[in-house]
Structure 1
Amino acid sequence: MPELPEVEVVRRGVERWVVGRRIESVQVLDPRSLRRHEAGPVHFAQELVGAVVSDAVRRGKFLWLPLAAAPGAAPRDALLVHLGMSGQLLVKDPELPDEKHLKVRLELSERPGTPSELRFVDQRIFGGMVLDLLVPTDDGAPGGLSATGAPLVPARAAHIARDPLDPAFDADRLHDRLRRRRTGLKRALLDQSLVSGIGNIYADEALWQAGLHWARPTDTLRRPETHRVLEAARAVMERALAAGGTSFDSLYVNVNGESGYFSRSLTAYGQAGRPCPRCAAEGRASLIVREQFMNRSSYRCPACQRTPRNARF
Structure 2
Amino acid sequence: MPELPEVESVASGLRTWAAGRRVTGVRVFDPRILGTTSNRTIAAGAVEEFTELLTGREIAAVERRGKFLWLPLAPERGPWRPGRAVDPSGPPLALSVHLGMSGQFRVHTPADPLHRHTRAVLDLAGPGPAEADPAAPPTELRFLDQRIFGHLGVEPLVPDPHRPGAQPDGTAGLVPGSAAHIAPDPLEPGFDLEAVGRRIQRKRTALKVALLDQTTVSGIGNIYADEALFAAGIHPLAPAGSTRISRIRAVLAAADAVMRSSLEQGGTSFDALYVHVNGDSGYFARSLQVYGRTGRPCPRCGTPITRLTVGGRSSHVCPACQRPPRRARIG
Note if contact 1:5-1:244 (Cα within 8 Å) is conserved in structure 2. yes
Q: Which moved more, 1:195-204 or 1:74-83?
A: 74-83
Tell me, yes or no, if the aligned pair for 2:233 and 2:322 is still in contact at 8 Å: yes
TM-score by length of 2: 0.87
1-structure distance, mates of 2:67, 2:124: 24
* Distance of aligned partners of 1:181 and 1:293 in 2 relative to their CA distance in 1, 3 Å threshold: closer
Give the match's secondary structure for 1:89. Answer: strand
Q: Which of 310, 314, 322 is the equivalent residue of 1:293?
A: 310
Query: How many residues end up aligned between the 2 structures?
Result: 305
- What CA RMSD, in Å, does the superposition of the two structures yield over aligned residues? 2.2
Instruction: Identify if the C-alpha distance between structure 1 residues 303 and 130 changes in structure 2 by more than 3 Å, giving closer, same or farther.
Output: same
In the alignment, the residues of structure 1 paired with residue 164 and residue 259 of structure 2 have an alpha-carbon distance, to the nearest angstrom, of 25
State the alpha-carbon separation in 2 of the partners of residues 29 and 90 from structure 1. 15
Q: Distance in 2 between matches of 1:114 and 1:57?
A: 27
Where does residue 31 of structure 1 map in the other structure?
31
| 1:245 to partner: Cα distance | 0.8
Matching of residues 185-264 of structure 1 within 5 Å: 185-264=207-286
Q: What secondary structure does 2:95 align onto?
A: strand
Tell me, what secondary structure is at the counterpart of 1:312? coil
Structure-2 residue corresponding to 1:129: 152
Match of 1:44 among 36, 50, 61: 50
AA at the equivalent of 1:2: P
2:102 alignment partner in structure 1: 86
Unaligned runs of 5+ in 1: 280-284
Cα drift, residue 110 of structure 1: 3.5
Structure 2 residue matching 1:52: 3-state secondary structure: coil
Q: Deviations over 1:69-110 (max 9, x none)?
A: 359x99801111111111001111111111111111111113
CA displacement at 1:150 relative to structure 2: 4.8
Superposed, 1:4-23 pairs within 5 Å as 4-23=4-23
Deviation at 1:148, TM superposition (A): 8.9
SS at match of 1:53: coil
SS at match of 1:130: strand
Alpha-carbon contact 1:33-1:125 (below 8 Å) kept = yes
Match of 1:110 in 2: 126
Provide, for residues 193-243 of structure 1, a one-character-per-residue CA deviation record: whole Å limited to 9, x for no partner: 111111111100000000001011111122211110011001111111111
2:81 aligned residue:
none
Q: TM-score, normalised by structure 1?
A: 0.92
In structure 2, distance between residues paired with 1:246 and 1:149: 32
Q: Report SS of the residue matched to 2:300.
A: helix
% of aligned pairs identical? Answer: 53
What is the one-letter code of the residue matched to 1:7? V
Superposed CA deviations along residues 241-269 of structure 1, whole A, max 9, x for unmatched, are: 11111011212111001111211110010
Give the corresponding residue for 1:282. none
AA aligned opposite 1:84? G
Contact 1:6–1:244 at 8 Å: present in 2 too? yes
Q: Deviations 1:120-170 (Å, cap 9, x if unpaired)? A: 1111111110111101112236799xx996511001100001111111321
Instruction: State the match for 2:83 in structure 1.
Output: none
Per the alignment, residue 69 of structure 1 pairs with: 75
1:56 is aligned, of 46, 51, 62, to 62
Alignment match, 2:164:
140
1:95 lines up with 2:119 in the alignment: no
Q: What is the deviation of 1:310? A: 2.4
Instruction: Give distance in 1, aligned partners of 2:313 and 2:327.
Output: 22
Aligned counterparts, 1:144-183, within 5 A = 150-183=172-205
Q: Distance in 2 between matches of 1:258 and 1:148?
A: 35
Check whether the contact 1:110–1:116 (CA below 8 A) recurs between aligned residues: no
Please give the alpha-carbon distance, in whole angstroms, between the structure 1 residues aligned to 2:282 and 2:209: 26
Letter in 1 for 2:112: L
Change (3 A) 1:148 1:82: farther
Matched to 2:51, the amino acid is A
Distance 1:247 1:301 in 2: 23
* Cα distance in 1 between the residues matched to 2:6 and 2:326: 36
Q: Which residue of 2 aligns with 1:269?
A: 291
Name the SS for the 1:90 alignment partner.
strand
- Which secondary structure state, in structure 2, belongs to the residue aligned with residue 68 of structure 1? coil
Query: Structure 2: how far apart are the matches of 1:217 and 1:241?
Result: 29
Tell me the distance in 1 between the aligned counterparts of 2:246 and 2:137: 47
Q: Is 1:120 paired with 2:143?
A: yes
| Contact 1:203–1:233 under 8 Å retained in 2 | yes
